[in-house]
């Protein structure tokens, strides 16, 4: 059985090479070939001894998840569907901007948090992705987008920002997430700044504390409600980690974070969480947490049971936050013609939770963590 080297960060790959009787610099060489140059053929790794290349051919592989489809939106957004086996697939979305290129990566096949207005949440949970499947999305997207550095020229970076805001709850897959993050940041891999890698969470407090110690990157929190009563309905994980605990965890995270603020994601649901009173309650909630808000227009999908807040209501809501001293942006809707917009990353996963049946006819208070892409990072 061969070993997929995409499963290792620098430390893990060094340990694996040591088990093969090889010196640490060999791990650095292979790491650079795999991630910096996007090479999967050991024979093409020309500065590695032939004997080692032959050993690698017999014992190892570089195997990202295969591409099922690659769709291009009218607005330039590009959605990749990757095969992760057993009839499961995950989606990765690239959003080009004038000054950046953001890749939205998935961390799980489906999602276990049962957030009702996210179409991914409606599909139920299948499994965590491996490190190779997480970092393999970036590996595949780099190649598809034409990033091809040479030894003398690193080339122009196409993907400048990575956000873990796709399918799944990243912090529920902590052990596989952190090695992938370290590869994104590593000088011999992708070399991204900690400020340009963002993990989004619905608020798993113990894992937020672990991330702060293990690999602090920019943090986005899917908030969606200003009170426990409403958030219990919108984001069920709140029943385990209520808002007081979540805000305390955000303050602790900022001690280690590469940025001096937390981004709060807030999906705008007509008549549910978008009133003036809700906005004022948010100002009170985050009064001790340096932050910015990203307001996300809800993207409808069949049988969601929710409507998008009118544009004027979103503007009014934002103005209250801004007048209260909070930097507030409204997410542009991108890629909705290819179902790549916020909340639409359903992919081809099996509904193992039977959530659709269980929540049929539920009141409009049942909602979800959005998988929105922050375009102002």
pLDDT at 370 over 60: no
Tell me, yes or no, whether 371 lies in a domain: no
215 is catalytic: no
Tell me, yes or no, whether 365 lies in a domain: no
Whether residues 124 and 264 share a domain: the answer is: yes
Say which residues have a Cβ less than 8 Å from residue 65's Cβ, sequence separation at least 6. 82, 83, 84, 90, 132, 133, 136, 137, 140
How many structural domains are present in the chain?
2
Task: Return the pLDDT at 336.
Answer: 56
User: From residue 302, how far is each of 112, 167, 186, 287, 307 by CA, in Å?
Assistant: 20, 18, 41, 37, 11
- pLDDT (mean) for 22-37: 96
Tell me, yes or no, whether 368 lies in a domain: no
Report percent pLDDT > 90 for the chain.
74
Tell me, yes or no, whether 258 lies in a domain: yes
Task: Return the pLDDT at 155.
Answer: 52
CATH of the domain at 322: 3.20.20.70
> Measured between alpha carbons, how far is 349 from 157 in angstroms, rounded to an integer?
32
Whether residues 274 and 164 share a domain: the answer is: yes
97 burial via Cβ count (<10 Å: 0-12, 13-18, 19+): middle
Structural domain span for residue 213:
67-358
The structure tokens listed for 368 are: 């979800």
114 is catalytic: no
**Which among 91, 114, 169, 374 is annotated as catalytic?**
91
Tell me, yes or no, whether 363 lies in a domain: no
pLDDT at 284 over 80: yes
Task: Return the pLDDT at 121.
Answer: 66
Q: What is the pLDDT of residues 246-265, one digit of tens each?
A: 999 999 999 999 999 999 99
Strand ranges of the sheet holding 89-96, from the earlier edge strand across to the other edge: 67-72, 78-83, 89-96, 101-104, 161-164, 197-201, 218-222, 262-268, 291-297, 327-330
Task: Return the pLDDT at 1.
Answer: 87
Task: Return the pLDDT at 116.
Answer: 63
Whether residues 43 and 29 share a domain: the answer is: yes
Bigger pLDDT: 40 vs 86: 40
Whether residues 162 and 292 share a domain: the answer is: yes
Whether residues 332 and 213 share a domain: the answer is: yes
Greatest extent of the chain over all pairs of C-alpha atoms, in Å: 69
Whether residues 180 and 327 share a domain: the answer is: yes
Q: Binning pLDDT at 50, 70 and 90, where does residue 118 land? A: confident
- Looking at the chain, the number of H-run helices and the number of E-run strands are 12, 14
**Which among 104, 133, 342, 374 is annotated as catalytic?**
342
Whether residues 43 and 76 share a domain: the answer is: no
Contact yes or no for 225/202 (Cβ under 8 A): no
Whether residues 100 and 197 share a domain: the answer is: yes
> Measured between alpha carbons, how far is 108 from 201 in angstroms, rounded to an integer?
13
End-to-end alpha carbon distance in the chain: 41
Q: Which of 163, 69, 111 is nearest to 373 (CA)?
A: 163
Whether residues 57 and 71 share a domain: the answer is: no
CATH of the domain at 36: 1.10.150.530
Q: What is the pLDDT of residues 70-113, one digit of tens each?
A: 999 888 899 999 999 988 999 999 999 988 999 999 999 988 88
> Measured between alpha carbons, how far is 352 from 276 in angstroms, rounded to an integer?
38
Tell me, yes or no, whether 186 lies in a domain: yes
Rg (CA), the chain: 21
pLDDT at 328 over 90: yes
Say which residues have a Cβ less than 8 Å from residue 179's Cβ, sequence separation at least 6. 7, 8, 9, 12, 131, 135
Task: Return the pLDDT at 149.
Answer: 66
Residue 375, SS3 per DSSP: coil
Q: Binning pLDDT at 50, 70 and 90, where does residue 377 land? A: very low
pTM of the entire structure?
A: 0.88
- pLDDT (mean) for 279-285: 98
Whether residues 56 and 75 share a domain: the answer is: no
Q: What is the pLDDT of residues 234-251, one digit of tens each?
A: 999 999 999 999 999 999
Whether residues 30 and 89 share a domain: the answer is: no
DSSP-derived secondary structure for 223-254 = ---SSHHHHHHH-GGGGTS-HHHHHHHHHHHH
Mapped to the 3 state alphabet, what secondary structure does 180-231 carry? Answer: HHHHHHCCCCCCCCHHHEEEEECCCHHHHHHHHHHCCCEEEEECCCCCHHHH
Tell me, yes or no, whether 374 lies in a domain: no
Whether residues 48 and 188 share a domain: the answer is: no
Average pLDDT over all residues of the chain = 87
324, HSE (Cβ side, Cα atoms, 13 Å)? 23
> Measured between alpha carbons, how far is 75 from 93 in angstroms, rounded to an integer?
13
- pLDDT (mean) for 366-371: 31
Tell me, yes or no, whether 366 lies in a domain: no
The structure tokens listed for 131 are: 């490190």
């Amino acid at each position: 059985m061969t070993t997929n080297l995409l499963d290792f960060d620098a430390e893990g790959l060094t340990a694996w090479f040591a088990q093969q009787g090889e010196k640490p610099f060999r791990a650095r060489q292979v790491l650079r070939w795999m991630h910096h140059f996007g090479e999967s053929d050991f024979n093409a790794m020309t500065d590695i001894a032939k004997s080692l290349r032959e050993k690698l051919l017999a014992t190892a592989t570089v195997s990202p998840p295969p591409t099922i489809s690659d769709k291009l939106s009218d607005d330039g957004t590009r959605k990749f569907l990757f095969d992760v086996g057993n009839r499961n697939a995950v989606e990765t979305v690239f959003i080009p901007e004038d000054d950046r290129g953001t890749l939205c990566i998935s961390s799980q096949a489906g999602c276990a948090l049962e957030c009702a207005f996210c179409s991914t949440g409606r599909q139920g949970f299948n499994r965590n992705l491996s490190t190779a499947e997480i970092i393999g999305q970036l590996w595949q997207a780099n190649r598809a987008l034409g990033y091809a550095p040479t030894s003398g020229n690193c080339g122009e970076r196409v993907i400048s920002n990575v956000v873990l805001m796709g399918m799944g709850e990243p912090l529920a897959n902590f052990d596989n997430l952190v090695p992938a993050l370290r590869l994104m940041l590593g000088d011999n891999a992708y070399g991204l700044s900690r400020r340009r890698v963002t993990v989004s969470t619905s608020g798993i407090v113990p894992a937020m504390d672990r991330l702060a110690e293990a690999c602090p990157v920019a943090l986005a929190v899917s908030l969606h409600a200003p009170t426990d009563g409403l958030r219990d309905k919108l984001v069920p994980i709140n029943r385990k980690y209520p808002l007081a605990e979540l805000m305390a965890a955000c303050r602790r995270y900022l001690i280690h974070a590469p940025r001096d603020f937390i981004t709060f994601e807030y999906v705008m649901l007509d008549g549910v969480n978008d009133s003036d009173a809700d906005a004022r309650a948010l100002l009170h909630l985050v009064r001790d947490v340096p932050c910015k808000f990203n307001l996300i227009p809800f993207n409808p999908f069949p049988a969601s049971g929710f409507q998008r807040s009118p544009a004027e209501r979103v503007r009014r809501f934002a103005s209250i936050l801004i007048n209260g001293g909070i930097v507030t942006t409204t997410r542009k809707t991108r890629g909705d013609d290819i179902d790549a917009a916020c909340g639409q990353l359903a992919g081809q996963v099996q509904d193992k939770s039977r959530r659709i049946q269980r929540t049929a006819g539920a009141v409009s208070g049942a909602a979800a963590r959005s998988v929105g892409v922050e375009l102002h990072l």
